[in-house]
Structure 1
Amino acid sequence: MTTPEKPSSRPIDHLARCGGADAPALLIGDEVTTFAQLDAGVGRLASWLLEQVGGPGERVASWSAKTRLACLIPLAAVRAGLIHVPVNPLLKGPQVAHILADSGAKLLVTNSARADMLGDARPVACAVQDLKIAEEVIDSAGQGLPLSIAEPDDLAAILYTSGSTGRPKGVMLSHANLWLGAESVASYLRLNRDDRVLGVLPLSFDYGQNQLLSSWYAGAAVAPLDYLTPRDVVKAVARHGITTLAGVPPLWVQLVEAAWPAATAAHLQRLTNSGGALTPSLIDAMRATFPNADIYPMYGLTEAFRSTYLDPKYVADHPTSMGRAIPHAEILVCRADGTITADEEPGELVHCGPLVAKGYWRDDERTAQRFKPAPRVSRYGGMAVWSGDTVRRDANHLLYFVGRDDAMIKTAGNRVSPTEVEDVAVASGLIYEAVAFGVADPRLGAAIVLIVRGKSGVADEEGLAGYLRQNLPNFMQPRVIQWRDTLPRNPNGKLDRVAIAAEWAHEGAA
């Protein structure tokens, strides 16, 4: 078997020159930054960052809202030979202190309010510079650094996971990881220079950061947005003529419930989703709300960026599918011994190829648990990400999510996937969201608890219970169904399953 050559990549800061010099690259309020201005600003910011830390190889963290600085610093840091550590603006002082200490960041660029939030928890070795000074540097007349000459495997960024199942892990991403991820997404979304992308997701989130990188790869413009309400998103789509919107399921739930003028909704040509599966009822609502838009369901994990997408032409007939591998990814469904499963046989999703990250920062133990040699049948070989997610492949080579092995509920001798219970509950059409988990039970081993959020605040308890009795076997029936008006999210906007289960346990103890 011949090992395929890795696709070629360039240093990630070269993205600042992918569009026409006078074409818009960044739209913030009424301010338009062209690609020429983007490149010049990146160069000046890179020079300043290098002065602050004293030499290449250091980690530089940013902790801010979606300012111009937050958008330029991923490219500026690597142009200076530094490693960028983006911090989610929703995190609190103790979480940020952990990220700064773990990454060994020598500089944090933030505002005074956030710096004060850190207080004495800030590592002594990490200096702080104010956002306002960095913004002034971008606009200065100073001479900036030229394009970098980094190697594809050089470290470019450390992205920290949300840490909902343990302490946050720093995923190490190379220039090739980021460049090829941008190229891949721009390719299958068919982005072009006329597109306008609304960046609503956190830039510390791999999916959110890629909103910038894939757009600039295609020569398109990005409008970063920190929104408070769905109405803010509606207004931004109208204001900038947005064609492309990326979201996670909780955001789509809010957006389909918002009031959209027909002309504004008609702007949108593509909707992309990751961070959780879209349900058939939510897809139907999205199609009705945005009639001109193609829907791209996707699956990914920070350790390999993005793994699969479902082509819009398959969404109507296969709404629950994860799709197939994205460009530059090889996706295998494997048994425990590394052999490939048969069609419809569940197995572990294994991601191979050049999008696989370089492991966890300074954490050999957890790196060894997730990053292992690729199965022998892999075309790429090398290290692969063993996701821990169970999926199945149908005869058309479309993939379907089954569940995470460590989340399985073991009840009455049966292994139950929470996802399966949740999907059936949502398929009732009575709710938008559901979270299932197990609680200790002396007779069953674990009993199933189902927490749901109904449509428009309506709680049809009898209707949902009846639907589940008709569509789930007895051993999969929830012991308790609880209705909520809201469900907690983690900093990336996903349903926080750990917090939901903890709330339930606290209420039970009370």
Structure 2
Amino acid sequence: MSINCIRTLIEDANVSHPEKIAIKFNEKEINYKDLLKKVNQIAFYLSELNLPKGSRIGIYSTKSIEQVIAILGILSTDYVLVPLTRLLKPEQVEYIIKDCDIKCIITDRLKLESIEEINFDGQIISYETTHKDIASFEEIFKYYNKPYSCTINGHDNAVITYSFGLTGTPKGIVISHRNLIDSARVVSSYLDLKEDDVISGTLIFNLDYGLNQIFCSLYKRATLALHRFILAGDFFNHLINDEVTVVPLMPINISSMFDEDEHKLPSADLLAKVRVLTSSGGNVTHKMLNDLDKYFPDAKFYSMHGLTEAFRSTYLEPSQIWIRPDSIGKPIPDVELYVLNEEGKECKPREIGELIHRGGYIYKGYWNAPVETSERFKSIQILKDVINLEGQLTDEIVVATGDYVYKDEEGYFYFVSRHDDMIKTRGFRVSPFEIESVVAKNFPMVEQCAIFSIANEEIEEEIVMVYSARSEIASKEIVFELKKHLASYMIPNKIIYKKSLPLVPSDKSKINKEELKQELLKDN
């Protein structure tokens, strides 16, 4: 078996730290010995399904210890994990199932009803015993006790995560086993994670940043303390009661943490065990930094910038947070970053260009999407005017990120904008096209619809819907219908009616979103 896979971490932890708590969630906990046993039982059962090698298995459930066991169980087979965030609606799940041909779904009692709404004829496994025709973890743990061993290659596909591509439909990014363990190694290194750390498992496990919580815990033989972030008070109780030392967050989590009256927040003394805070997935505002500094004065805060096509590009050293809070930092270990202008030349300091990522942590490409893959994954020839390619192999792949940035005189990078019009809100990337498509399908009375975003410090960007129709539709009615088809983070924050929408002068088939945005900002 390859040393470049997460499976080796589970086996090694069982040898070196069998009795140590691996995962805890509220009153439940499991040590490394029992974790390996249960992972093996699930992996053994999955292997007995006799699905073709590389078959995709989805996980569509709420957070639990069983969910982590399911993730590690799939990664202990030659199948491929497809995380399906519980925020997705059944029709969105159905799209992903069809797109990557999911053969089996692991779920819980709460989400089983949603799956039953979907036309899915594959295997279903539930954590709890629910129906005689559906296998459950409870039954597997009771009856599957045979030895299990596996062979995994580091270059094999391990995970397909879904985000929104240039066309507006979800595109799966393919991640190898080597990618997963490399990401655990590098994060554990630059965050200086330790064996006695308790890492907060607050982020959902739908994308690489969330999954990395699990893998870093395994890599360092640390403890993962799971938590479902719903209320700020419960989150702080989680940090205190679980004695958390490392807290991965997104900006939306940070703003939600401090959305309570000050007298309801704990004192800094109660949070003193936290020594590392991290954030990725959006901008961190000065208010967020001030709040973190007030309640976690001794914790080091790392701001990080990742990509859809590569695990991570940059991080900002904690010592630089107050010196250059708007910077996304410098390259992480084993990564080279370049800023190119339209002629392919390297930009001068403070000249804006496209960020090119070279080196480690690059994923394999988009699933069944050659056009999207070719737009982002480029030959190293793109850097021919920047680096010396003499004597080098020229089939190396780099990522043309679509992020427009600049670099200052000291080598720190600053994010400016995205090449496409993706909306980033609450840590998610949202395609205006998908929302517009749902409106077109479910509101035949709407003549024109434009979805765009405006800045909002609390959630980075808020979604705006402007539409035209013969008569105005009640906003509550629009929201009610959209909630049936879209995840909660995709619902517009503002809905505006206009008798007609402006068109782009050079293309009368396109709505002039920029004009609409400027009108809105002017009115505000």
* TM-score tier after normalising by the smaller chain length: 0.7 to 0.9
Contact 1:205 1:492 in 2 (8 A): no
Match of 1:398 in 2: 412
Matches within 5 A, 1:374-389: 374=380, 375-376=383-384, 377=387, 382-389=396-403
Q: List gaps (5 residues or longer) in structure 2.
A: 129-135, 426-431, 433-449, 460-481, 502-524
SS of the residue corresponding to residue 301 of structure 1 reads: coil
Q: Distance in 1 between matches of 2:393 and 2:142?
A: 44
1:367 maps onto 2:367 in alignment: no
SS of the residue corresponding to residue 399 of structure 2 reads: strand
User: How far 1:83 moved relative to its partner?
Assistant: 0.6
Q: Distance in 1 between matches of 2:64 and 2:123?
A: 20
Q: Distance in 1 between matches of 2:59 and 2:49?
A: 14
Match of 1:145 in 2: 148
Q: Distance in 2 between matches of 1:360 and 1:492?
A: 23
Matches within 5 A, 1:18-29: 18-19=12-13, 20-29=17-26
SS of the residue corresponding to residue 245 of structure 1 reads: strand
Matches within 5 A, 1:183-262: 183-258=185-260, 259-262=265-268
CA gap 1:337/1:494 in 2 versus in 1, 3 angstroms = farther
TM-score in terms of structure 2 length = 0.75
Q: Distance in 2 between matches of 1:32 and 1:454?
A: 34
Contact 1:45 1:144 in 2 (8 A): no
Match of 1:463 in 2: none
TM-score in terms of structure 1 length = 0.77
Q: Distance in 2 between matches of 1:191 and 1:139?
A: 36
Q: Distance in 2 between matches of 1:73 and 1:508?
A: 51
1:300 maps onto 2:313 in alignment: no
Contact 1:61 1:86 in 2 (8 A): yes
1:309 maps onto 2:315 in alignment: yes
Across the aligned residues of Structure 1 and Structure 2, the Cα RMSD in angstroms comes to 3.3
SS of the residue corresponding to residue 49 of structure 2 reads: helix
1:284 maps onto 2:280 in alignment: no
User: How far 1:111 moved relative to its partner?
Assistant: 2.4
Q: Distance in 1 between matches of 2:313 and 2:189?
A: 14
User: How far 1:311 moved relative to its partner?
Assistant: 0.8
1:16 maps onto 2:16 in alignment: no
Deviations 1:179-231 (A, max 9, x none): 10111111111111110011111101211110111121111111111122111
1:128 maps onto 2:130 in alignment: no
Match of 2:507 in 1: none
Contact 2:61 2:110 in 1 (8 A): no
Contact 1:298 1:309 in 2 (8 A): yes
SS of the residue corresponding to residue 66 of structure 2 reads: helix
CA gap 1:401/1:492 in 2 versus in 1, 3 angstroms = farther
* Higher alpha-carbon deviation: 9-18 or 322-331: 9-18
Contact 1:256 1:289 in 2 (8 A): no
Match of 1:98 in 2: 95
Q: Which residue of 87, 94, 111 maps to 2:108?
A: 111
CA gap 1:54/1:15 in 2 versus in 1, 3 angstroms = same
Q: Distance in 2 between matches of 1:21 and 1:70?
A: 20
Contact 1:42 1:138 in 2 (8 A): no
Q: Distance in 1 between matches of 2:356 and 2:114?
A: 40
Q: Distance in 1 between matches of 2:107 and 2:116?
A: 13
CA gap 1:275/1:203 in 2 versus in 1, 3 angstroms = same
Q: Distance in 2 between matches of 1:94 and 1:219?
A: 39
Opposite residue 241 of structure 1, the aligned amino acid is E
Q: Which residue of 63, 67, 70 maps to 1:66?
A: 63
Q: Distance in 2 between matches of 1:507 and 1:211?
A: 46
1:499 maps onto 2:505 in alignment: no
CA gap 1:165/1:262 in 2 versus in 1, 3 angstroms = farther
CA gap 1:383/1:452 in 2 versus in 1, 3 angstroms = closer
SS of the residue corresponding to residue 366 of structure 2 reads: coil
Q: List gaps (5 residues or longer) in structure 1.
A: 1-7, 409-417, 423-436, 438-445, 456-487
Deviations 1:216-255 (A, max 9, x none): 1111111111122111111111111001111111110121
Match of 1:429 in 2: none
User: How far 1:335 moved relative to its partner?
Assistant: 2.1
CA gap 1:492/1:303 in 2 versus in 1, 3 angstroms = farther
Opposite residue 228 of structure 1, the aligned amino acid is I
User: How far 1:278 moved relative to its partner?
Assistant: 0.7
Deviations 1:251-293 (A, max 9, x none): 1012134412333221211110001011223212211121121
Match of 1:171 in 2: 173
Q: Distance in 1 between matches of 2:330 and 2:498?
A: 41
User: How far 1:53 moved relative to its partner?
Assistant: 4.5
Deviations 1:117-150 (A, max 9, x none): 23353333x221212212543465602422x432
Contact 2:326 2:414 in 1 (8 A): yes
SS of the residue corresponding to residue 49 of structure 1 reads: helix
Q: Distance in 2 between matches of 1:142 and 1:275?
A: 41
SS of the residue corresponding to residue 322 of structure 1 reads: coil
CA gap 1:11/1:505 in 2 versus in 1, 3 angstroms = same
Deviations 1:376-395 (A, max 9, x none): 32899611221111011111
User: How far 1:55 moved relative to its partner?
Assistant: 4.4
Identity %: 28
Q: Distance in 2 between matches of 1:163 and 1:182?
A: 26
Q: Distance in 1 between matches of 2:488 and 2:317?
A: 23
User: How far 1:165 moved relative to its partner?
Assistant: 7.0
CA gap 1:25/1:107 in 2 versus in 1, 3 angstroms = same
Match of 1:49 in 2: 46
SS of the residue corresponding to residue 345 of structure 2 reads: coil
Q: Distance in 2 between matches of 1:296 and 1:380?
A: 35
User: How far 1:163 moved relative to its partner?
Assistant: 6.5
User: How far 1:45 moved relative to its partner?
Assistant: 1.1
User: How far 1:330 moved relative to its partner?
Assistant: 2.4
CA gap 1:351/1:266 in 2 versus in 1, 3 angstroms = same
Number of corresponding residues? 432
Deviations 1:435-490 (A, max 9, x none): xx9xxxxxxxx9x98564789xxxxxxxxxxxxxxxxxxxxxxxxxxxxxxxx99x
